[in-house]
Structure 1
């Protein structure tokens, strides 16, 4: 069985069910295992956090997983409000536990949602970050349009996925093809301005600005 994204062919094959349940839409015991494995990606999440030097007052993390990046950002930016969005109840539960002290302080919220339907008001965020989730969006163009809606004018989008040159062999197996990298870059330029591709140690990343 094959499935294709609308607008661009980022995810040409549906992953095997164990991979789907552990990483793409984590559920059940495999989802908990997937969350544990994701939580080991401290170096990858740290290099993405390094790109976010001026996050503003409100940041949305789309596909926030077990909350690893959120905890790093909350520690680095004590007054930042973080809005975590993930369609997986397992991931939301793990993120809520990891970020409990920030939730208690009113600085982190954990929400159900997807790239095409973010549970946030228009123009409510200064920054949106999505790490290792873009291949799971069924419609790249719709996802980018929804992100643009949520960002304030001039707001920053940070996207990333596993690098083909990553130290981890598992990350290299998940890496984007040259074609997919080009497709993402082209789609970003349609909706956003100042698009930059940045090759990191563990990730290929893009930084872009909302127009207006």
Structure 2
């Protein structure tokens, strides 16, 4: 296995790199990562290889500096909402945990149609009634009606909808609370990216223009009636 020479030698000057290290960076890293418009020649001279590696390492350093600056920037309201949703105690079945074809057992309290069985009469269940999943007799526990069936696509779409709903709900609660503390009363409901923006600059975002219509998102608490 080859180690990553860029990471290992990020702090070294190119002049300190051995010929083997320069060649490995040029022939492996640069060859794979270069832009389609950038020229690559397996027979390039030592000086060309050295200057190319120098430029590549400087680019990597610039990317690292930009990434550190990005990570150290103040946390936005959108990030706060996202982190709240990540750690809100939601059960695994309601999180985005994969997109393979699968079947998921329905909740025990869901009412379902069932295959009629005379034994139901013994517990007061009449023909045509609907029962909760938990009340289905043991010998019927593997019926397909007790499972939600997903393809890879429908599973992904379902999980995206669940996540979107959770983000919207958390963002609304946060927006309502924070705006109240700032003297505003929330009077409309928006999607979570918009509600997160409202908190950054309430004075600017208290009204929005949607399809040429003016929408009032929130008002001063003293003006709310």
Relative to total residues, which structure has the larger strand share, 1 or 2?
1
Relative to total residues, which structure has the larger helix share, 1 or 2?
2
The TM-score with structure 1 as length reference comes to 0.19
